[in-house]
Structure 1
Amino acid sequence: MGQPTLVFSDHFLDSLDFREWLKYHEIELDRTNKFINELIKEGTIALLLTRTHNLLNAVRKFSQSLQEFQFECIGDAEMDDEVNIGKSNETRPRRERVISCYCGAGSEDNIHSIEVIKYT
């Protein structure tokens, strides 16, 4: 919305019109400030999503290297670490699906539909 031009030489007259125009300009500045703050928040969220996606890729690569790693076992029993690694690999596809769905989200509607994942 276009605002009337403020002519600061008019402030000497202290007219009601000048005060009204000044009030409109202050309201517009408040709206602009709120909009900029929302953009900053959205930018922060986008940065957080990008970093989460990068972390997911790093975890995926680390998990793959753990799967390829050959444990030296004595006997046939699995160690606790092997059991935990196996369990974490079972939940990985679900985590990836949720995060990739969230990273692809373009609107705030999808933000509220993200499910919470319990990490064990």
Structure 2
Amino acid sequence: MFTIYDVDYYPAVSIGEIPQILNHGYCYLLYDFGVLTEANYNEFLRCDRKIVIGSLAPWKEQLYHKFIQSTFIGQKSGEDFYYLVLFGEGNDMQAFRKKYHLSMAQIPFFKNPFHIEKEQFPFLQELL
């Protein structure tokens, strides 16, 4: 564990260690599952908000399509799912939304993720 600006980070946490972290009394916990797998899928579904981040860059777009098709068929709606795009053109995002009937948002550029600018607050508040 390490701390930056009063935020505790737990790198490479196993699923078995999560209950111990939950007992620390944090107001918010943000899990970065990396790539969603069968091993961490159930833990992901337990989260209050499920944030799925993908890329619509031409060389990665197929991975996002495959992920949505194979993982979230029948579960892709609801207030607790947030689909975000890291890279992609507006037209690509619009086509993706239409194809899967999803609400999506583009992640804004953060020059320094440890120093949040006023313009970035609405995006972050939406996720909380």
TM-score by length of 2: 0.24
Q: Normalising to structure 1: TM-score of the pair?
A: 0.25
Larger Rg: 1
Higher relative contact order (CA 8 A, sep 6+): 1
Q: Tell me which protein shows more strand as a share of its residues.
A: 2
Q: Pick the structure with more helix per residue.
A: 1
